[in-house]
Structure 1
Amino acid sequence: MTRRTATLVTSIIVLVVSLGLVTVFSVPFVSFSPGPVKDTLGTSSNNKPVIEIKGHDTFPTSGQLDLTTVSVTSPGRELTLPQAMRNWLDPHNDLFPRDIIYPPDQSADQVEEQNTAEMTGSQDSAIAAALQAAKVPYHPKVSTVAKDTPAEGKLKPGDVVLAVDGVAMSQVPQVGEYVRKHKVGENVAFLVRRDNVEQTIQVKTAATPGDETRPMVGITIGVDSPVKVTVNLGQDIGGPSAGTAFALAIYDKLTPGPLLDGKHVAGTGTIDALGQVGPIGGIQQKIAGAKNDGATIFLVPADNCEAALHAGVKGIRLVKITTLTEAIAGIKAAVGGQGEVPSCAS
């Protein structure tokens, strides 16, 4: 074998080995791609309505109202360089540093638990916002009591909060607002109904971890109402970004006249108990997923509008929203010509 031939053979071997190593070694990134959608006005995998309402008249709906998701590289999976490059070249995919999405100090189970908790919280807020929009009365109630907090052993999940410091409570956010009127170490008087018995319970505030001046008692607040709303979605979807879609579906079922008028609408956005819509991540992937499923209208949180305009998805109308009330009005305008449509392009 000549020196030239030997050099060529060695170079080929090095190239093959290098390419092989490239396909094996991982890179510290995760991918975002369009995820599955779910019709909140439809049925779940067990053939139950995604939104099930008891204790109140419900009305027929028409059309499809999709919550949208993002498919993210799972905590236990790593991307190789070729996989990362394919995602980078796809206009509807994104790459993010792994440590941003999965903090090193959190296990995969902790990440999943957080996503589940955020989904549960978004459902509670969606129910409160929808009941308020549909003018259905309710009381705040204790949903959870955190361990090692002042409320542990005093308040219980299911306690209906009738008043705080003598002030009647009629909305979920009021409870936290009145707790925060106190200084750390002061007592808060909760008038609650437990097992049909009213009682006043004193709870001393403690400092919120990370903010020594912010008082807390260690509870989360949900909704107590004769209207029972159940979200039958299982554990496949996590995080808070489906809140707006849940609230719209609940509102549509509780009020006369089909909101969507037979159209295919999709959207995203967090929501609080007062109906304020907040921004989310993965807006471009969610729009692409909605378009792939046939949606013609997409509800975009106002703070996500700039990114939404760069999604590069044609044939889908982007409706800008900041509240549940605006979302309802925006849908009516877009599907039935009832007023001006608030657009991300404006």
Structure 2
Amino acid sequence: MASDVGDFSGSGNFNDVGRAKRRSRVAMVVAGVAFLLMLAAVTPSPYTIERPGPVVNTLGDVNIEGETMPVISIPDAETFPTSGALNLLTVSLVGSPEHPTSWLSLVPALFDPSQRIAPRTDFYPDGVTLKDREAQGTVQMQSSQAQATAAAFTALGQDVPVSLVIAAVSEDGPAAGVLREGDTLLRVDGAQIANFAALRAAIVDSGAEQDLLLTVSRDGVETEVTIRPEVPEGGTDPLIGAVIATQYDFPVDVDISLSDIGGPSAGMIFALGIVDQLTPGAMLDGIAVSGTGTVTDTGEVGPIGGLEQKIWAAARADSDLFLMPVANCGDVPARVPSDLQIAPVATLDEALAAIEATVAGDTVPGVEVCDAAATAAG
């Protein structure tokens, strides 16, 4: 009996040892998890996060280097009061070659439908730096502003003369030794060149390995030159091997002021903002319209990137209407904000009609336009 009592009196020590071992194992697990989290927080990933960026009301003001100025200003023309908001939508990228995302920073984006994780090479091909991308975006923004201005004046029935000027010549392309920087293209095969799209169509129609007669103005003198377009390696259409800049002669100057925003996707919204300022009456009548889409000088609305992120940005800006390119119909996500009216458009005129219908309280063709477009294409 005495020995039995002695055995039970030691059970507390056994329990203490077990608890100590369990605490040790838990501590080891916690330490391991903490180490893995620290490692994930500092280890670069090969991915970039695409998410909604700033929203800018193009009918409002912007602050640039401490100075407040209108986003769109037309100082030499009669302009009219506007109301409501005409929002330019942007996308922000997190993760560049110089500043890659960590593995841990990707986790929140996995649970946010407004964010997308994609390989960094989708945005920064091999050899392309953040500085390269920003420089390209600046050039695209400048071009989109010029095309938007041309589209707006054209929509208002005003003539916008166009000049196509050679900005650069490829050293080993068909135009080398034939065209010079500063040449102004006048005619192709004797026909007047209306715009860049017409020139491009003439080159494609001519085909590769066929002589193309170009009339250019060089130092004020008309000169005829012959070029044989070629299909570049990996390409499908013939090219002449020159960078062509489009220059417009606008009825009045239009100033667009933005900071740290690049790319071509604001073209349609810029054009709508110019039209609104130059026409009597408040086009929006107090509603909020957001949109995205490139625009040509003749008013065709083209595709953009980051559609899903811009849809969510439009919803968060309490937009009454979201305008998007028909060409992006295939990018409309299965899940969209339930209270957002989405209107796919193919031209600036269609965008204006969608705004007019929304203001009037009429039904605006929505994403069903995408089904009709797909059927027509098929």
TM-score (norm. length: structure 2): 0.78
Aligned to 2:230: 207
Q: Distance in 2 between matches of 1:12 and 1:64?
A: 51
Q: Distance in 2 between matches of 1:45 and 1:151?
A: 45
Q: CA deviation at 1:188?
A: 3.3
Q: Distance in 2 between matches of 1:297 and 1:7?
A: 57
Q: Distance in 1 between matches of 2:216 and 2:169?
A: 21
1:71 aligns with 2:71: no
Q: Which moved more, 1:137-146 or 1:161-170?
A: 161-170
Q: CA deviation at 1:9?
A: 4.9
The alignment-based identity, stated in percent, is 31
Tell me the alpha carbon deviations over residues 250-276 of structure 1, each in whole angstroms, 9 at most, x when there is no partner. Answer: 222333333222221110012223322
Cα gap change, 1:187/1:307 in structure 2, threshold over 3 Å: closer, same or farther? closer
- Aligned residue type for 1:65: L
Matched residue SS, 2:285: coil
1:61 aligns with 2:82: yes
What are the within-5 Å matches in structure 2 for residues 140-219 of structure 1? 140-142=162-164, 145-148=167-170, 150=175, 154=179, 156=181, 161-182=185-206, 183-184=208-209, 186-192=211-217, 197=220, 199-200=222-223, 202=225, 204-207=227-230, 209-210=232-233, 211=235, 214-219=238-243
1:24 aligns with 2:42: yes
Aligned to 2:12: none
1:291 aligns with 2:312: no
Matched residue SS, 1:70: strand
Q: Distance in 1 between matches of 2:218 and 2:63?
A: 36
Matched residue SS, 1:69: strand
2:72 to 39, 51, 63: 51
Tell me the alpha carbon deviations over residues 2-22 of structure 1, each in whole angstroms, 9 at most, x when there is no partner. Answer: 994665554443333223212
Tell me the alpha carbon deviations over residues 201-251 of structure 1, each in whole angstroms, 9 at most, x when there is no partner. Answer: 536355354338603251324242242444433451112211111121222
Tell me the alpha carbon deviations over residues 118-151 of structure 1, each in whole angstroms, 9 at most, x when there is no partner. Answer: 2223223322322222211122223561243537
Q: Distance in 2 between matches of 1:219 and 1:283?
A: 29
Q: Which moved more, 1:295-304 or 1:181-190?
A: 181-190
Q: Distance in 1 between matches of 2:200 and 2:75?
A: 28
Cα gap change, 1:7/1:311 in structure 2, threshold over 3 Å: closer, same or farther? closer
Tell me the alpha carbon deviations over residues 80-137 of structure 1, each in whole angstroms, 9 at most, x when there is no partner. Answer: 2332111111122111111222212322222222222222232233223222222111
Contact 1:92 1:311 in 2 (8 A): no
- Aligned residue type for 2:162: P
Q: Distance in 2 between matches of 1:295 and 1:13?
A: 48
Aligned to 1:84: 106
Matched residue SS, 2:230: strand
Aligned to 1:120: 142
TM-score (norm. length: structure 1): 0.84
1:304 aligns with 2:328: yes
Unaligned 5+ segments in structure 2 are: 1-16, 370-378
Q: CA deviation at 1:316?
A: 2.4
Q: Distance in 2 between matches of 1:186 and 1:282?
A: 41
Larger radius of gyration: 2
Contact 2:163 2:246 in 1 (8 A): yes
Q: Which has the higher contact order (CA 8 A, sep 6+)?
A: 1
1:342 to 365, 370, 375: 365
Aligned to 1:250: 274
Q: Distance in 2 between matches of 1:261 and 1:203?
A: 54
Cα gap change, 1:63/1:9 in structure 2, threshold over 3 Å: closer, same or farther? closer
Contact 2:188 2:212 in 1 (8 A): no
Unaligned 5+ segments in structure 1 are: none
1:227 to 251, 260, 280: 251
Aligned length: 342
Q: Distance in 2 between matches of 1:114 and 1:58?
A: 32
Aligned to 2:14: none
Cα gap change, 1:12/1:228 in structure 2, threshold over 3 Å: closer, same or farther? same
- Aligned residue type for 2:150: A
- Aligned residue type for 2:344: K
